[in-house]
Amino acid sequence: MKPTVEQALKEIERVVGAEHLLTDTATLSRYSVNMLATADILPAAVVRPTSTEELQQVLKIANTCKTPVWTLSGGQNRGYGMACAATPGTLIIDLKRMNRILEVNVELAYALVEPGVTFAQLYRYLRDNDIPLWMDVPSGSPEGSCLGNITERGAGYTPLGEKFLFSCGMEVVLADGQVLRTGTGTLPNSQTWQVFKWGYGPSLDGLFTQSNFGIVTKAGFWLMPRPPAYEPLAVTMDDPEAVYKAVEILRPLKLNMVIPNGACVTHVRKALGLTACWGEGKNILPRVGRRFDYPAETLKALKETYALGEWNFAGALYGLPETVRTYRGIVEDAFRSALPGCRFLSAEEQAASPYWRAREKAMRGEPLWEFDMSDWEGKAGALWISPVAPVTNEAVEQQIRIAEETYAKYGFHYAAELILGTGRDLHHIIWLLFDRSDAEERRRAELCEREMYDRYCEVGYLPYRTGLSTGDYLMRKLGPFRDICHDLKQLFDPNNILSPGKSGIDLANRS
C-alpha cells in the first residue's frame, strides 16, 4: 500500500521530536502567503531539523513515502514570493535551527555557515568579535539567510555583491539522503574548501542554485578586509534622461575597477520608497501614496527635503587614502564633464538624508530593512521584476521604455534601481507595489508581471530571478533548457520530492 503523508510525518516526528514538526493552523498560515497567488498555498506541515544528519533522515523518509518538501533557510524571500512553497500540501523544511557560523577565517577572509545564519547574525558576530572583515548584504531583510542568498544568486552592494560568484564550496543533501561536497570539498580532509572554488572534475555548485536538485546545508563565501579608507559617493541628477549618460559614464569606471562595488543608479520613486523605511523618512509614508503615485508638487518637495534627484547614483571607493582620493577625482571628472548638471552630495548632506545614510551603510555591509514600504496596512503586495541588461545606454533606454509602457497599460508607476555588477551587466530591479487585498488589482499585477517577462524575453533580456508563481511561466519560454533541467531532475530526484516547481522545474506532471 502507498505510504501516506501522515505516515511520513509520524516517522519524521520520531527523528526531529514533536516540537519541531509543526502542524497547527497558525504556523501553517505563516508559511502560506505567496504575494500573487489568488489563494494561500497551505503546506502540510513544517519541519525544523537541526543538523545535516537529521535532514538526511527526513529526506530518506520523504523520498520513500514520495512526500514533496519545500526548502527555506531564512524565509525572507521578499519580492520573490516570501516563506511559501510553489504548490500546496508540501512539507516545508525550515532550516532556521541550523544556524551555526562554522568558521570565520580572518587571515584568508572567508566564512563557512549553515543555512539558518542570517545577515544580522554574521554582522553582529564580526562586529562583536572585532574582526576586521566586511561581509556583503543584499537589500531587503537582515533576517535573510547568507546561504539562501547564494543559492538564489542574489546581488548586493559591496565589491562582493555577486553572491554566487564569491561563494566557495557547498555541502548538499540529495533527495535520497546522500551528502555531496562541491569544489575541493570532495576530498574529505580538504585544506582548500573555502579558498579554491573549482576543485577537480566538473564544477557542480551552479546546479544547486535556483534549482531543486538538492538542499544546501553548508556554504562558504568570501569576505573583504576592512579597507583603510572608504568613501561613499552620492550623486543626484535632475534630468530624467540622465540615467542613460550615467550608464555610459559608469561602464569604464566599473570595468577598470575604479568603482568596485555593486553601485546603483536609483529612480526617485524607488529612492523615496526606501526613504520611507528609515528614521525620519517614515514620516513621508502617509504622503507617499501606496503605489508611488505622487503629485508633481509633492514629488518636488520630497526631492528637496531628502536630497534626491530624478536619478541618484550611489557607489563607493575602497583602499588606501591616497588611492581613494585619486579615484574620487577621476569619478568627479567623469560625471561633471558628461553631466554638468549633476550634484555630488557632501558627507553632511548624505548624513542628513535617510536614503543616503542607508546606502552608505549597505556599501560597507551593514544589513538594513527595506520593506516597511511594502507593509502598509498589512496588505501590500511587493514584486520585483528583474531583467538583466548590458551596461549600454541603448539597452537601458529600451528596458526602461518597456517598463514604463507596460506599467502605464496596467495602471502602475515605474520605480526601479539599476545595480551595476562587473561593468558589463546590470540588474534592472523594478518594483511593483499593489494592494493584495484587492483581487482586481492583484490580477492586474500578475498580468503586468507576465507581460513584462514576455516583452523582455522577446527582445532578448532574461530576468536573473523570478517570483514563486512565475517560474513555470518563464521556464516554458526556454525550450531545450527546460528539457535538460527535467532530465537532470530525473537524475537527482526521480520522485520529484524536492521543491516541485522551483524555478519552473517539474512543477507537477510535465506537459
Question: Does the protein bind ligand ADP through residue 423 (CB under 6 A)?
Answer: no
Are the C-beta atoms of residues 418 and 247 closer than 8 Å to each other? yes
Give the residue at shortest CB distance from ligand ADP.
Answer: 74
Name which of 152 and 310 has its Cβ closer to ligand ADP. Answer: 152
Please name every residue paired with 66 in a beta bridge, in sequence order, or none if there are none: none
Name which of 194 and 499 has its Cβ closer to ligand ADP. Answer: 499
* Part in contact with ligand ADP (CB under 6 A); list of ranges 143-151, 281-289, 306-314, 374-382: 143-151
Shortest distance (Å) from residue 365 CB to ligand ADP: 16
Edge-to-edge strand ranges of the sheet holding 45-47: 21-22, 45-47, 91-94, 69-72
Shortest distance (Å) from residue 348 CB to ligand ADP: 35
Question: Does the protein bind ligand ADP through residue 155 (CB under 6 A)?
Answer: no
For residue 44, give the C-alpha cell: 502540510
Of 320, 319, 333, residue with least CA distance to 253 = 333
Q: Give the C-alpha separation, 306 to 312, whole Å.
A: 12
Question: Does the protein bind ligand ADP through residue 215 (CB under 6 A)?
Answer: yes
| Contacts for 368 with CB less than 8 Å, ≥ 6 apart | 137, 139, 142, 277, 278, 358, 361, 362
* Part in contact with ligand ADP (CB under 6 A); list of ranges 142-150, 183-191, 196-204, 356-364: 142-150
Question: Does the protein bind ligand ADP through residue 149 (CB under 6 A)?
Answer: yes
Question: Does the protein bind ligand ADP through residue 95 (CB under 6 A)?
Answer: yes
Shortest distance (Å) from residue 152 CB to ligand ADP: 5
- Catalytic residue selected from 31, 78, 80, 157: 80
Judge whether 464 counts as a catalytic residue: yes
Shortest distance (Å) from residue 136 CB to ligand ADP: 13
Name which of 43 and 115 has its Cβ closer to ligand ADP. Answer: 115
| Neighbour count for residue 11 (Cβ, 10 Å) | 17
Are the C-beta atoms of residues 152 and 211 closer than 8 Å to each other? no
Name which of 143 and 451 has its Cβ closer to ligand ADP. Answer: 143
Question: Does the protein bind ligand ADP through residue 145 (CB under 6 A)?
Answer: yes
Residues between 184 and 203 with contacts to ligand ADP, criterion CB under 6 A = none
Question: Does the protein bind ligand ADP through residue 115 (CB under 6 A)?
Answer: yes
Q: Give the C-alpha separation, 103 to 108, whole Å.
A: 11
Question: Does the protein bind ligand ADP through residue 261 (CB under 6 A)?
Answer: no
Bridge-based pairing state of the strands 91-94 and 45-47: parallel
Q: Give the C-alpha separation, 408 to 85, whole Å.
A: 31
Name which of 75 and 232 has its Cβ closer to ligand ADP. Answer: 75
| Neighbour count for residue 460 (Cβ, 10 Å) | 10
Are the C-beta atoms of residues 430 and 414 closer than 8 Å to each other? yes
Could you tell me how many residues of this chain bind ligand ADP (CB under 6 A)? Answer: 21
Question: Does the protein bind ligand ADP through residue 374 (CB under 6 A)?
Answer: no
Name which of 215 and 234 has its Cβ closer to ligand ADP. Answer: 215
| Neighbour count for residue 371 (Cβ, 10 Å) | 18
Name which of 173 and 388 has its Cβ closer to ligand ADP. Answer: 173
Question: Does the protein bind ligand ADP through residue 151 (CB under 6 A)?
Answer: yes
For residue 477, give the C-alpha cell: 519560454
Single out the residue of 251, 269, 270, 502 in contact with ligand ADP (rule: CB under 6 A): 502
Residue 418's alpha-carbon distances to 194, 315, 423, in angstroms, are 30, 12, 12
One-letter amino acid at 426 equals: L
Residues between 35 and 94 with contacts to ligand ADP, criterion CB under 6 A = 71-77, 83
Task: Tell me the Ramachandran region of residue 497: left when phi exceeds 0, alpha when psi lies from -120 to 50, beta otherwise.
Answer: alpha
* Part in contact with ligand ADP (CB under 6 A); list of ranges 13-21, 145-153, 298-306, 406-414: 145-153
Question: Does the protein bind ligand ADP through residue 499 (CB under 6 A)?
Answer: yes
Question: Does the protein bind ligand ADP through residue 139 (CB under 6 A)?
Answer: no
Name which of 79 and 260 has its Cβ closer to ligand ADP. Answer: 79
Shortest distance (Å) from residue 80 CB to ligand ADP: 7
Per DSSP, the three-state class of 204 is coil
Judge whether 31 counts as a catalytic residue: no
Shortest distance (Å) from residue 137 CB to ligand ADP: 11
For residue 128, give the C-alpha cell: 562583536
354-362 helix and 268-275 helix, angle to the nearest 10 degrees: 90
DSSP output for 131-176: --EE----SS-TTSBHHHHHHTT-B-SSTT-BTTTTEEEEEEE-TT
Judge whether 482 counts as a catalytic residue: no
Looking up cell 498589512 gives 378
Tell me the catalytic residues. 80, 464-465
Binding residues vs ligand ADP (CB under 6 A): 71-77, 83, 95, 115, 144-145, 147-149, 151-152, 215-216, 499, 502
